[in-house]
Amino acid sequence: GYLTHLGTVHGLTRAAAVRAAGECLERLGAAAYAGTPMARLSKGTSQKVAVAQALLGEPELLVLDEAWTGLDADARAEFERAVAERTAAGGSVVFVDHDPRRLAGLPDATYAVHDGRLVPQTSREAVPTGPHMTVETQGPPDGQLPEDVRRTATSAEETGPGRYRLTVPAPHSDVLLRTLLTARPPWHVVSVSQRDDTSGSRR
């Protein structure tokens, strides 16, 4: 009920708000608590509801302050995918987190707090870490990668006519694959493999 009310505040019809709230809670693994009063929820489940609230209505600007804290591994991964979808759709996300690897490879700008001041981080200081996916894709011989793919990928290496090897942070691989497969003309996904970090071995 709480999320449904917030959905109507965002301008959704009641039916759309109920559907959106259910989808957000389902993604985060909290659908079973949809009818539970907030006061009876655990800290972790309350955080999932807060995250679902932030995602409700597909905001153009999403501001997150330590939003991953308290989420289990599955919910954290799903949340990162949801954030990637927001940016791929043209939204802007500003987030504060103690883990510099969060959303590695995606931020347009990264800052650290030193002596009470925001200090821009150089590309060397912000090297993407964490699980990455390597995607081999084939398009038309004279095809150019969709711009959304270039924005999402950490790197794009042309290995032949219309053939590319893409590296993307694991949480954003779904967005990249969807973009390739829905492009016109569509791009063929040859293979997908996981790497532990940007220089590590593949699985």
Q: Which CATH architecture has domain 2-98?
A: 3-Layer(aba) Sandwich (3.40)
Question: Number of C-alpha atoms within 13 angstroms, CB side, residue 28?
Answer: 30
Helices (H), the chain: 2-9, 14-27, 43-55, 73-88, 147-152, 173-182
Q: What's the rounded mean pLDDT across residues 35-46?
A: 84
The pLDDT-based confidence of 200 (bands split at 50, 70, 90) is very low
C-alpha torsion sign, points 139, 142, 147, 151: positive
Higher pLDDT, 62 or 17: 62
Least confident of 50-54, 74-78, 111-115: 111-115
pLDDT tens digit string along 149-167?
Answer: 887 888 899 999 999 999 9
Three-state SS string over 147-173 comes to HHHHHHCCEEEEEECCEEEEEEEHHHH
**Cα 192 from Cα 49, distance rounded (Å):** 33
Where exactly are the structural domains of the chain?
Answer: 2-98, 132-195
pLDDT tens digit string along 56-85?
Answer: 877 888 888 888 888 888 888 888 888 888
State pTM to two decimals.
Answer: 0.56
Report the percent of the chain where pLDDT is more than 70: 80
